[in-house]
Amino acid sequence: MSHADPISSRPFDTDVLIVGAGPAGLTLATALAVRGVDIMVIDRQSEGANTSRAAVVHARTLEALEPLNVAARLVARGLQAPRFTIRDRDRVLVPIDFEHLPTRYPYTLMISQAVTENILLDRFRELGGRVHRPGALVDVCQDDTGATATLDDGRQPRARYVVGADGMHSTVRERSGIGFTGGSYGESFVLADVRLTGGVPRDEVILYFSPLGLVVVAPLPNGAHRIVATVDDAPEHPDAAYVQALLDARGPQSEAAVVHDVLWGSRFRVHHKLADAYRSGRVLLAGDAAHVHSPAGGQGMNVGILDAVALAEALGRALAGDEAGLEAYGRARRPVARQVIELADRLTRMATARPGLRAVRNLLLRTLARLPMFRRQLAWRLSGLVYR
């Protein structure tokens, strides 16, 4: 990042420039708009993505979105799954009920990321906001009073603060010299939204442990199911036969789940990386720009949305003259991302235990699962309520 003195005397175009209109950027934009903060949002894509991707919204995320007038809209469009189980084929190792959690949202809400983003965008527009598309940031520099972006069309909007909500390959992070430390998993993830019958209930998210890799089967609001699995070499477009073979090898046994068709499928490689800092002066990071991890546990997008809610509060105070919250933001949110990376790692390692260790793992988990305290702790962690 360069320091450009002549620019520092220019008037501000906006208080906060948000780079990226994914779930993190849109949440931040909405939360700042609710506070009446002057913001500018840019995104390099000419329109928002319409694919399913992250399909899980947890209780804590819904609580945090309540003041933005977004939670009820999500609930109206989503499907409530009050139960989560870890299984080894037909055997339930860990049953977790969210029903008794002390929240207004005692369930996992299943809803496609495209719908979540549309609901956030609608709310942002109601508040008078708009996303400038396509507009890609190519550089950012800062001085004592503000930060100036350079866009691909040569414009140079100047803001008091710039937020990188620009995803895993964040240009804001890179141009600000913030490291992104971690690695990649050897295996890749295959993802498919399918129509299926039999084998699995419609009110439950199931994580199957298998020596071949983990597979998640979760109901979606449109009558479909989301399948996510770790595989060595994922096909670009998984077909019904491929997903059927996955479920036959790792999923329910006594009553098979029969896959009829694939509505949407994709593959992706998963990294586990954490930004070395969430702040560099007047530049801040949120969402995948700050952390990426395995989708095991369904936390990715949720952590990013909660980053954004916390950052909006900190930026609101900073604009009123108290910058202490900006440093506290990273101190509070970075350990959460680290814990999510560790939990996802643990789940992946446990899921793929070698055959010799599998019986021991199952016995241990079933013993632990008899303890109400263990089940409660897991429910609090997965729902995000532990981070209240």
Ligand X SMILES: Cc1cc2nc3c(=O)[nH]c(=O)nc-3n(C[C@H](O)[C@H](O)[C@H](O)COP(=O)(O)OP(=O)(O)OC[C@H]3O[C@@H](n4cnc5c(N)ncnc54)[C@H](O)[C@@H]3O)c2cc1C
What is the C-alpha to C-alpha distance for residues 211 and 153, in angstroms, rounded to an integer?
51
CB of residue 81 vs ligand X: minimum separation in angstroms?
14
Using rule CB under 6 A, residue 295 touches ligand X = yes
What is the C-alpha to C-alpha distance for residues 243 and 258, in angstroms, rounded to an integer?
10
Part of the chain binding ligand X (CB under 6 A), chosen from 95-103, 154-162, 296-304, 373-381: 296-304
The tokens describing 368, both together, are 């632990």
Rg (CA), the chain: 21
CB of residue 265 vs ligand X: minimum separation in angstroms?
9
Among 356, 178, 152, 155, smallest CA distance to 277 is for: 178
Using rule CB under 6 A, residue 41 touches ligand X = no
CB of residue 361 vs ligand X: minimum separation in angstroms?
24
Part of the chain binding ligand X (CB under 6 A), chosen from 51-59, 73-81, 339-347, 368-376: 51-59
Q: Which is nearer to ligand X, 20 or 78 (CB)?
A: 20
Interface map 213-242 toward ligand X (x if CB under 6 A): ---------------x--------------
CA 323 to chain CA centroid, nearest Å:
27
CB of residue 178 vs ligand X: minimum separation in angstroms?
14
What is the C-alpha to C-alpha distance for residues 290 and 23, in angstroms, rounded to an integer?
14
Phi, psi (degrees; rounded to nearest 5) at 95? -100, 130
CB of residue 285 vs ligand X: minimum separation in angstroms?
9
Q: Which is nearer to ligand X, 207 or 369 (CB)?
A: 207
CB 199, CB 212: distance < 8 Å = no
CB of residue 364 vs ligand X: minimum separation in angstroms?
27
Using rule CB under 6 A, residue 165 touches ligand X = yes
Q: Which is nearer to ligand X, 25 or 146 (CB)?
A: 25
Residues 6+ apart with CB under 8 A from 348: 185, 214, 230, 294, 296
Residues 328-357 contacting ligand X, CB under 6 A: none
Helices within the chain (DSSP H only):
23-34, 59-65, 71-77, 113-126, 171-175, 240-250, 300-319, 324-351, 355-369, 372-383
What is the C-alpha to C-alpha distance for residues 369 and 363, in angstroms, rounded to an integer?
10
Using rule CB under 6 A, residue 266 touches ligand X = yes
- Tell which one of 15, 29, 30, 43 touches ligand X (CB under 6 A): 43
Peptide bond before residue 6 is cis, with ω within 30 degrees of 0: no
Look up tokens 């809400």; give the residue: 109
CB of residue 338 vs ligand X: minimum separation in angstroms?
16
Interface map 118-137 toward ligand X (x if CB under 6 A): ------------------xx
Using rule CB under 6 A, residue 312 touches ligand X = no
Using rule CB under 6 A, residue 193 touches ligand X = no
Part of the chain binding ligand X (CB under 6 A), chosen from 5-13, 159-167, 359-367, 373-381: 159-167
- Tell which one of 113, 150, 230, 348 touches ligand X (CB under 6 A): 113
Look up tokens 């070395």; give the residue: 276
Q: Which is nearer to ligand X, 157 or 199 (CB)?
A: 157
CA 379 to chain CA centroid, nearest Å:
18
CB of residue 358 vs ligand X: minimum separation in angstroms?
25
Give CA separation, 254 vs 90, 162, 330, in Å: 7, 54, 48
Interface map 15-34 toward ligand X (x if CB under 6 A): ----xxxxxxx---------
Peptide bond before residue 235 is cis, with ω within 30 degrees of 0: no
Using rule CB under 6 A, residue 304 touches ligand X = yes
CB of residue 10 vs ligand X: minimum separation in angstroms?
21
The tokens describing 159, both together, are 């803001």
End-to-end C-alpha distance for the chain, whole angstroms: 35
Helix (H, G, I), strand (E, B) or coil at 290: coil
Which positions lie near ligand X, rule CB under 6 A? 19-25, 42-45, 53-55, 113, 136-137, 165-167, 171, 191, 228, 266, 268, 287-288, 295, 298, 300-301, 304
